[in-house]
Amino acid sequence: MGQVRTVDDLMAVGHGYQRAMILFAALKLGVFRGLASGECDAFALARRVGADPGKLSILLDALAVLGLVGKKGKRYRNAQVARELLLPGPRSMESILLHHLDGWGEWGRLFATVRAGRAKIPGADGGYQENFIRGMEENARKRAAAVARKIPLRGGNRVLDLGGGPGTYAVAWAEAYPRADIAVFDTPGTLRVTRKILREKGVEARIRLMEGDFLKDPLGGPYDFIWISQILHAFPETDCRKLLRKARAALAPGGRAAVQEFLLAEGKTSPPGPAFFSVHMVAVTGGGRAYTAKEIAGMMRSAGFRRIAADPPDPLGVGIVRGAV
């Protein structure tokens, strides 16, 4: 929704969590997967997913209001949008939604975090980590192919996808430029999930995986191109500058780097997506936030990059800032 202007707008904001939690509860219960085996009534579905049939029927009716399930008589079925986006498949958004649910506790403590100036950082193990990495893959699917076309490589280029998570961008460049030598650098916990994803795609032999902490460990190299996508927002500016200096030092002469982020406009009150995302970073990180293109360009300049230019952000506020050595 847009800006709050009326009582109804205000109450819609206040009630917004209800729709989110109805969806999250259905995902955690396995409602959509349960209905994937065929339409049924609440009692039959309750047996499939292990739930109380009376309370499940109330949840199902609310899901019908949202248009996520259809209802005829007493029988429920997945709506088309649920079949396409909430079940395993090439368009699934299940993992990124579960990642948002994983952050629910941190958002519940937002007032205390803002007051104290520090957040309780969520754990990086188990389901949280897998939901996060697979969610990043879901978010990047469409954009990765477009970025690989927008930022061309040369045959045999040495490429580092720094903090590359699921390796979605690395795979897109590998498919577009088969002669390129492409590596993904990330933590051991993250790369355990990355290996699963690359294996599922049948491309594990195309991408090298490098384990480490990019703020502490050597990055290797030299590289011809370093891609830094959606990393800086997780860190305070001092760490961002440190990381960009390390990236600059890992580039070969004539090398390039590109930073992709949710970019705030200079006044920092638009676009809405990056502004709200910046609050998410306050809730779940130890000092991260969204940055403006000018701020990122300044950090790159101080790290020793030149010929710095920013591409206009897309409607969601995602933009790229490029530099060279």
Over range 227-236, report the average pLDDT: 98
Residue 40 belongs to what H/E stretch? strand 40-41
Same domain? 45 vs 167: no
Same domain? 307 vs 187: yes
In a domain, 28, yes or no: yes
pLDDT digits (tens, 9 = 90+) for 4-33: 999 999 999 999 999 999 999 999 999 999
Over range 147-162, report the average pLDDT: 95
Last residue of a domain, one of 61, 91, 121: 91
What pLDDT, on a 0 to 100 scale, did the predictor assign at position 126? 52
Same domain? 37 vs 179: no
Same domain? 150 vs 273: yes
In a domain, 163, yes or no: yes
In a domain, 228, yes or no: yes
Distances in Å between the alpha carbon of 54 and those of 13, 21, 229?
A: 29, 18, 46
pLDDT digits (tens, 9 = 90+) for 25-52: 999 999 999 999 999 999 999 999 999 9
Handedness of CA 187, 125, 241, 258 (dihedral sign): positive
The mean pLDDT of the chain is 95
Last residue of a domain, one of 73, 91, 109: 91
In a domain, 238, yes or no: yes
Closest CA to 32 of 134, 40, 214: 40
In a domain, 283, yes or no: yes
| CATH of residue 48 | 1.10.10.10
pLDDT > 70: percent of the chain:
98
- What is the b/e burial string over 203-228, where b = at least 16 CB atoms within 10 angstroms of the residue's CB? eeebbebbeeebeeeebebebbbbbb
| CATH of residue 250 | 3.40.50.150
Domain that holds residue 44: 7-91
pTM confidence score:
0.90
pLDDT digits (tens, 9 = 90+) for 62-112: 999 999 999 999 999 999 999 999 999 999 999 999 999 999 999 999 999
User: How far apart are alpha carbons 215 and 186 in whole angstroms?
Assistant: 11
Q: How many domains does the chain have?
A: 2
Lookup: tokens for 28: 């955690």
What pLDDT, on a 0 to 100 scale, did the predictor assign at position 95? 95
Q: Count CA atoms closer than 13 A to 221's CA, side-chain side.
A: 21
Same domain? 168 vs 277: yes
**What are the E-state strand segments in 50-125?**
69-72, 75-78
User: How far apart are alpha carbons 238 and 142 in whole angstroms?
Assistant: 32
